[in-house]
Amino acid sequence: MKHIILAVTIPLLFFGLLYSGSASADYAQNIGKNLEATKKEARYEAVATDPRIVVMKIISASTAFIGTAFLVYLVYAGYLIVVAQGEEQQIGDAKKIIIRCTIGIALMLSAYGLTKLIINVLDQDAPLQETGLHIQPTRRTGGGLMQMGGRE
């Protein structure tokens, strides 16, 4: 029975990938045109981003990820303590997890602060903006669906 399922599944997967590949190729040929049309229609102008800002955004994203992992491990350690039922081995393991998480989050926050300090010291004239890519919409005239207030 396994061999029959494999004999049917593998060709279907192979031909399915071939079909989706041709559709992706058609889309990839027009992606530049589609992006330009979207940019033009939305009337947005992207401002070039400083590489230092990109680095700070990457560091901020990794900080958020590590903070989330810290929270998950902390909840896990708390769960281990709750279900330990007085078992010293399990309580000790949970305490080790809490200590390691606390040390890890302290190291991460100090590295983030040090990186931000170094970048600010190196570039004192132009303070960094932490928001990354700035997209500035052009002003539109006239009313529309989003018009607030009464009639003019």
Q: Where are the beta strands (DSSP E) in the chain?
A: 44-46, 135-137
Position 150 scores a pLDDT of: 47
pLDDT given at position 142: 55
Instruction: Give this prediction's pTM.
Output: 0.47
Rounded-to-integer distance, Cα 116 and Cα 132, Å: 14
Residue 60 CB-half CA count within 13 A = 11
Q: Please, are residues 76 and 97 in contact by the beta-carbon 8 Å criterion?
A: yes
Of 62, 77, 75, nearest to 107 by C-alpha is 62
The predicted structure's pLDDT at residue 152: 45
Neighbour-count burial of 3, counting CB atoms closer than 10 A to its CB (0-12 exposed, 13-18 middle, 19+ buried): exposed
What is the reported pLDDT for 143?
Answer: 53
- CA separation for the pair 91, 77 (Å, rounded): 9
**pLDDT in single tens digits along all 152 residues of the chain:** 767 776 767 666 666 655 554 555 555 667 667 777 777 777 776 666 677 777 777 887 888 888 888 989 999 999 999 999 889 999 999 999 999 999 988 988 888 888 778 777 776 655 555 555 555 556 655 555 554 444 44
Question: What is the pLDDT, as a whole number, of residue 7?
Answer: 72
| pLDDT for res 28 | 60
